[in-house]
Amino acid sequence: MGVVALVPAAGRGERLGYGMPKALVPVDGVPLLVRAVRGLLDSGRVRHVVIAAPPSEVDVVNTVTAPLATPAGGAVHVVAGGSERSDSVRLALTYALREIPDTSIVLVHDAARAFTPPAVVDAVVDAVAAGHPAVIPVLPVADTVKQVDASGVVIATPDRAALRVVQTPQGFDAAVLLRAHEAAHEGATDDAGLVERLGVPVVTVPGHPDAMKITTKFDLAVAEALLVGSGGAP
Ligand code: CTP
Ligand code: MG
């Protein structure tokens, strides 16, 4: 059973404001992207990784990921990403289905979720392998959430108990993910959102706080603290 992980890493990191693409921002000397890919490979469940890199940084990404050890028969592949995240995922998916034989399960994992524990990867792959065509890791919502109108006036207060915060890796049957991306709907902020629109059920597994997405300087500081808290594991 071939598990291929697609890693969208082609964003500019504007909210982080580090002056370089976020995927290449180092934490304790190791770029976020390298940490994210290492977490996928450390799960022991992923054979091939396809990274969608910033188009101007394909060579740099090849260089920084070259030392990563892949399982026998596996490899890290780098393609140029697109202008939106969904374009980057689609480009990586197209490459995987064309170039990597036996791609049956596909994970999509943000480079920005660099500290995702391998156990989350494991849980997602297990659930897809058990027959669920779409699986996402989630956490409960800690804050009360309001729905507001265009001028900021509250319309509704959804029941917090029924809400979840969504993380990656999201796991899919490869054919289902392809169908979802071919339908090319606008406005979905994650891959599961595209799959939902096909009417395919999406199931959840427990995520982990460490799988937080690094978006802002505050998040980067939290990530650095996480590393110190874990004894600075490389
Ligand atoms: N991504 C991508 N291709 C794009 C845009 C985003 O592959 N055209 C990736 C990012 O590299 C990141 C993930 O999608 O790993 C989630 O996106 P986000 O956190 O928004 O990252 P950036 O787009 O880099 O950040 P910003 O929106 O602040 O510029
Ligand atoms: Mg973005």
- How far, in Å, from the CA of 45 to the mean position of ligand 2? 27
**Any idea which ligand is nearest the CA of 23?**
1
The confidence score (pLDDT) of residue 233 equals 53
23 lines ligand 1 (CB under 6 A): yes
Residue 77: strand, helix, or coil = strand
Only one residue has tokens 């629109």, namely 197
The confidence score (pLDDT) of residue 184 equals 72
Residue 66: strand, helix, or coil = coil
If you classify domain 2-228 with CATH, what class do you get? alpha beta
The confidence score (pLDDT) of residue 186 equals 79
- How far, in Å, from the CA of 197 to the mean position of ligand 2? 22
The confidence score (pLDDT) of residue 95 equals 98
The confidence score (pLDDT) of residue 51 equals 98
**Any idea which ligand is nearest the CA of 21?**
1
Mutate to test the pocket of ligand 1, among 32, 78, 85 (most ligand atoms within 8 A of CB): 85
The confidence score (pLDDT) of residue 1 equals 63
Q: What is the mean pLDDT of the chain?
A: 95
85 lines ligand 1 (CB under 6 A): yes
CA-CA-CA-CA dihedral for 35, 38, 42, 46, to nearest 10 = 130
- How far, in Å, from the CA of 155 to the mean position of ligand 1? 30
Please report, for the chain, the start and end positions of each structural domain, with discontinuous segments joined by +.
Answer: 2-228
- By alpha-carbon position, which residue is closest to atom 6 of ligand 1? 11
Per-residue pLDDT of the chain (234 residues; tens, 9 = 90+): 689 999 999 999 999 999 999 999 999 999 999 999 999 999 999 999 999 999 999 999 999 999 999 999 999 999 999 999 999 999 999 999 999 999 999 999 999 999 999 999 999 999 999 999 999 999 999 999 999 999 999 999 999 999 999 999 999 999 999 999 999 767 788 999 999 999 999 999 999 999 999 999 999 999 999 888 776 655
Specify the DSSP class assigned to residue 84: S
Residue 75: strand, helix, or coil = strand
Atom of ligand 1 nearest to the CA of 12: 24
Mention every residue, 6+ apart, whose C-beta is less than 8 A from residue 130.
Answer: none
What angle do helix axes 58-65 and 32-42 make, rounded to 10 degrees?
50
The confidence score (pLDDT) of residue 232 equals 60
